[in-house]
Amino acid sequence: MSESTVQIALVLPDLLGTYGDFGNAVVLDKRMKWRGISSEIVTVNFGEPVPETCDIYVVGGGEDTAQTLAVRHLREHPGLQRAVTRGATVLGVCAGIQIFGESFTRADEITHPGLGLIDSTSHAGGSRAIGEVLAKPAHGLFDGVLTGFENHQGRTVLGPAARPLAHVTVGTGNDGKNEGAVQGKIVCTYLHGPVLPRNPALADMLIEWATGRKVEPLELPAVTQMRAERLKAAGQRAEV
């Protein structure tokens, strides 16, 4: 709680925690603690106000109903939007990319307004994209290949103010070409797995954005081995 403690807000895990998104907060927390950076996870449940003073906000994925409720909640308690204005770092996964955009249109053709934090619109695609994904980080944002598992029907089109997070080599992502979005210090992605355990370089990028300091690499053999296995599995998917 001291001023030097980096606070990670885990936003509405009870609504948007469908894909183990708790894992993203844990990875940020541990990767800071193991480097001697004081950090803590602040859980914000459905029905509770969203604090505006946290350093990193992690928003997960959820079903349609949950997503609608989450948007309503985040409007009623606009702590996240205020934090963004202040320059906080944000990770939005799966539903996050739709919630943060200008609007999202469901399979029933009803268009719902998003929070307008990202210059993007989302709509329901024809088929559900399910499986391992590989993508090359855009603009040299971070090292290595982005890996994850996707399971979504949404397709997302980015406007000029948003940039893609990565370019898809295996899988679908936003539209079969681009994956995710970056705007200011907001990062969105369709990938779970969860995404940060799979992609330590992305986790460290978020940590550097939030703390304003460079962090040293962290050698975790299990993570290196898992990345190799997942890259191989996705590569086999590409050959099919």
Partner 1 sequence: MSSKLSQKMGLGAGGMIGGRVALKLDPQALRRLASGKHVALVTGTNGKTTSTMMLARAVGALGEVATNHSGANMPDGHVTALSKQPDAPYAVLEVDEGYFPAVAVAAQPSVAVLLNLSRDQLDRVGEVRTIERSLRDVISGLQNCTVIANCDDVMVTSAAKDARRVVWVATGTGWHQDSASCPRCGEPIRWQGEHWTCTHCDLARPKPDWVTSNGHLIAPNASKVELKLRLPGVFNQANAVMATAAATKLGVPIEEAVRRLRGVSNVAGRYRSIIRSGRAARLLLSKNPAGWSETLTVVKEAEHPAVLVINANEADGRDLSWLWDVPFERLRGRRVVASGERATDLAVRLTYAEVEHTIVPDPMKAIDSLPIGPVEVIANYTAFRDLNARAADE
- Among candidate residues 148, 191, 188, the one with its CA nearest the CA of residue 57: 188
Scanning residues 139 to 178, which ones bind partner 1 (CB under 8 A)?
Answer: 149, 151
Is residue 18 near partner 1 by the rule CB under 8 A?
A: yes
Is residue 85 near partner 1 by the rule CB under 8 A?
A: no
Q: Binding segment for partner 1 among 65-73, 84-92, 170-178, 208-216 (CB under 8 A)? A: 65-73
Residue written as tokens 């906080």?
88
Is residue 180 near partner 1 by the rule CB under 8 A?
A: no
- Among candidate residues 98, 94, 46, 97, the one with its CA nearest the CA of residue 74: 46
The per-type count for the chain, helices as H runs and strands as E runs, is 8, 12
Is residue 193 near partner 1 by the rule CB under 8 A?
A: yes
**3-class SS shares of the chain: helix, strand, coil, % to 5:** 35, 30, 35
- Rounded to whole angstroms, how far apart are CA atoms 9 and 152? 24
Is residue 124 near partner 1 by the rule CB under 8 A?
A: no
Three-state secondary structure string covering 95-128 = HHHHHHCCEEECCCCCEEECCCCCCEEEEEEEEE
Binding partner 1 by CB under 8 A: which of 37, 69, 215, 231?
69
Q: Which is nearer to partner 1, 68 or 169 (CB)?
A: 68
Is residue 231 near partner 1 by the rule CB under 8 A?
A: no
Judged by the rule CB under 8 A, the positions of this chain that interact with partner 1 are 12-15, 17-23, 26-27, 30, 45-47, 63, 65-66, 68-69, 130-131, 149, 151, 192-194, 197, 220, 222-223, 225-226, 229
